[in-house]
Each structure stands twice: as structure tokens, then as C-alpha cells.
Amino acid sequence: MRRRDDRGRAGTGDRPRTSAYRRWFATLHPSLQLVLLQLWMPLFFIVMFCLCYVAAFHAPTPHEVPVGVVGSAQASAGLESGVEKALGGTIAFTDYPDARAAGEAVLHGTVAAAYDPARRELLVAGAHQLQASTLLQRMLIPVLSANGAAPTVKDLSPLPAHDAFGMTSMYLMLAWCIGGYMTAMFIGLMGGPLRHRTRLAVIVGLGLLISLVTNLLSGPVIGAIQGHFWPLALMAWGWIVAIGLAVNGLSYFFGRFIALPSMVVFVFLSVPASGAAYPPWMMPQPFAWLNNVVVGSGITEMIKRTVYGVGPGYARGLLMMSVYAAVGVILMLVGKPYWEARRARRIVAGKTTMFIDAQNANRDFLAGQRRGILARHGLASTETGTIGLIDLEAEEQRDRARRAFETETDPGDAFLAAPDGLENDGPVGDPSPDSTREP
């Protein structure tokens, strides 16, 4: 056996040196070890919830709101000057030659609203962003009414009665994101050695199932969306697979902590930056900029285009979907060799993790408990796993011989955990040496 070198590394046949904290932690109950090693998840969740959701939504404030104006720049100069003076630079105007072009920009989402001075009409699209259209009406109508009658509001795409607040797209987007990242997350946690083809088969197959279930429930069952079942199902399948591929690729690098990057990217950043709850021009940075890259933005806009005919169209969403899927494939191809090499190094070095040690200790503890329960019922488990009756006479003879030997060698103390003592901190029953050793 070789000695450790000055840096504490183990030579051949030596176990790697562990820290004092890890040795102390291994003395805890194995089940408690497993619980404590998972408590980072709720702490991480509440911290990210505050940093992303509370920080993003606690005080949404309009800034550089894109508003279109029908007519030439010279004709609208006075209007823009009045709005600028009243609202303090909150509005960013864009001129359009006619009402048709301005209306298309509103439906497309290029501008949040448009004003036609000749007709004194304020054009909005409630189906694209109800919060935005409502807020802009409260902001602009008092200013536009200063020099005459109040303008009329024309909603180019009102929300239907079955989706009164337009939140269906947001929650459907969230369901697809969670379905995609959780599928790949559990593959990463429990299916490390699986081949690429097996992982892909699970992601694609479960993605199809999740797509059908979510659209069946939100559409025919609940009635939040009427029609468009197959376009939405196909769209959901593509997004779930793309998200699954991305998380699958990341899992090779993050191991059992894959929940951290996947939840950050596909939930905590994606939802507030998606534009589903509030438009980007009401969100603080970096959420306003992230609207350009998060999957929630692409999914939400594609749903709105399919269901209500509003939004920028499919090109942007399909591009985002393809990029996420491609990044996932690249990470998968690079990550598998990296994961295998890292695993081989740990095996050769004899290294284990605290989580693996806790799992092994808990397994031994539960095995000891199982033997004890069987023994109390006069049963025993054989080496093949079958359960049979204990030969009580043989067991009694062996017990008498053991007691005689222990009496001759060491009478013990009934109050200090002797063989016949009153206390026994070990597993119930007759545990094997492996079930009582320090994890």
C-alpha cells in the first residue's frame, strides 16, 4: 500500500481523505442525511422567486412605450409635443402613412397602440396584451382629450369571453416549459449511462404525450381555448422537445444539480421576460432585454398568433426553437464524453459524493430494518430474495451458543448497550456489519 503524499492525495489502495465536516455528517441518521442534502432546492426556489418574480412584477413602469401616429411627422409634431410634455418622455412615437399600416403594426405587436388624429381613434389590440392596451388608454385618453372630444377606442382584436384576461397563453406556455425541462431533468438525474437514442426517445415520446394532454385539458375539457387543437399540439411538441434537448445537454455538466440551470432559464427568467404578463416596455432590466431570447417569449407569441391572429408571427418563434434544440444537441455530443471521463476519474480515485454515501448508508439501514421486521414475524430472507420461515430450534441453539461465549468473554453492562442491554442505536433486528458501519 502506498502512502499519501504531502497534498493528501490517496495512493493505490487508499481511500481519499475526507473533511472533518463530511465525517461528522456521515454520523447522522442516513435518512436525515438524504433530507438535508436536498434542502438546497426549497432555498434556491424561494431566493429565485424573490429575485425574478417579485423583483420583476412588484412595480412595472412604462418606459419608451412604442405608439404609432397616423400622418406625417410635421402633422403629428404638435400631438407628440403635447404628449411628451404631459407624460414626460414615456412614449416613443413612430409615424405611419395611413390607418391601415398603423393597425397592422398594432396587430403585429410592433407598437402597443396607434392614434389616428383625423378620425380621433385610438387603435389597440386587447388579445395581444390586455394589460398594455388598458394602461395606454388610461395614459393617452386624458392627454388626447385636452384639445377636444375624447378619442374613441377601437380594439382590433378583442379577447373572447372564454379568455377574459388573456392569461391562457402564459399558463399554457408555462406548462410546456415545465413539461420539457422536467422530462430531461429526471433523465439527467437517473439515466446518466443511457444512450443518446434512448434519451431522445424518452424526450420525444413523453413530449408528444404532454403536448396532447395539455392541449386536451386546456381546450376541449376546460374550454380556455376553442379550436386550433392540432396546430397547438404540434407547436407544443416542438417546444417541449427543444427544451428537453437543451436540458438534456446541460445535465451532463450539472449532474444532480440540473434543476438549477433548467429552472433559472426555463421558468424564473422565462416567465417574467416572456411578455405574457406585462410587455417588455413595462419590465425592468434585464427582463426587458431577455424578452428577445427566452423561450417563453417565442412560445407566447406563437400561441397568440395561432389563437387570436396577433403577434409577430411564427418565424421568430421557430428560429428560437431551432436554436435551443441545436444547442442541446451540441451540449449532448460534447457532454457525454466529458461525463464519462469525469466518472472514470472518480472511480479510479475511489472518490464518492456525500449524496452517494448517504444513499448507501440509508440502503444498509433499511435492509437491517427489513431483516428485523421479518424476524419479529418468524421469517427470514434468503440469498435469492425469497422469504421463508425461520428454523426456530436452530436459531435458539445458535443464540444459546452466542450467549455462552459472550458470558465467558465479557459479561457487559446492561446500561451501556451490552448484548442484552436496554438500548440499541443500530438497526432493528440482526444487521450485518455493512448496515452498522459509518456511511
Residue with cell 422567486: 49
pLDDT of residue 406: 55
- In angstroms, the CA 52 to CA 58 distance is 10
Number of CB atoms found within 10 A of residue 212's CB: 15
The model's pTM is: 0.77
CA distances from 39 to 43, 111, 308, 363 (A): 7, 45, 43, 20
Residue with cell 409577430: 312
pLDDT of residue 377: 74
Angle of CA points 285, 286, 292, to nearest 5°: 115
What is the residue-level pLDDT of the chain in tens, covering all 439 positions?
Answer: 444 444 444 444 456 677 888 888 888 888 888 888 888 889 998 999 999 999 988 888 888 889 989 886 666 666 777 777 777 778 888 889 899 999 999 999 899 999 888 888 999 998 888 888 888 888 888 888 876 778 899 999 998 888 888 889 999 999 999 999 999 999 988 887 889 999 999 999 999 999 999 999 999 999 999 889 999 999 999 999 999 999 999 999 998 889 899 999 999 999 999 988 888 888 999 999 999 999 999 999 999 999 999 988 899 999 999 999 999 999 999 999 998 888 888 888 887 778 778 888 888 888 888 778 877 777 777 666 566 665 555 556 666 776 666 555 444 443 333 334 333 444 444 444 444 444 3
Nearest one of 274, 246, 262 to 173, comparing CA atoms:
274
pLDDT of residue 344: 86
Pairing of strands 113-116, 65-70: parallel
Residue with cell 461525463: 339
- In angstroms, the CA 152 to CA 184 distance is 50
- In angstroms, the CA 275 to CA 271 distance is 8
pLDDT of residue 119: 87
* pLDDT tens string 105-136: 999 989 999 988 888 899 999 888 888 888 88
Q: Residue 177 has which C-alpha cell?
A: 416549459
Residue 269: CA count within 13 A, CB half-sphere: 18
In the chain, what are the helix, strand and coil shares in percent, each to the nearest 5? 60, 5, 30
Any residues with CB less than 8 A from the CB of 304 and at least 6 apart, and which? 127, 128, 169, 310, 311
CA distances from 26 to 29, 34, 351, 425, 433 (A): 8, 11, 15, 15, 16
| Residue pair 261/331 in contact by the 8 Å Cβ criterion | no
Nearest one of 375, 149, 170, 422 to 271, comparing CA atoms:
170
pLDDT of residue 180: 92
| Residue pair 200/247 in contact by the 8 Å Cβ criterion | no
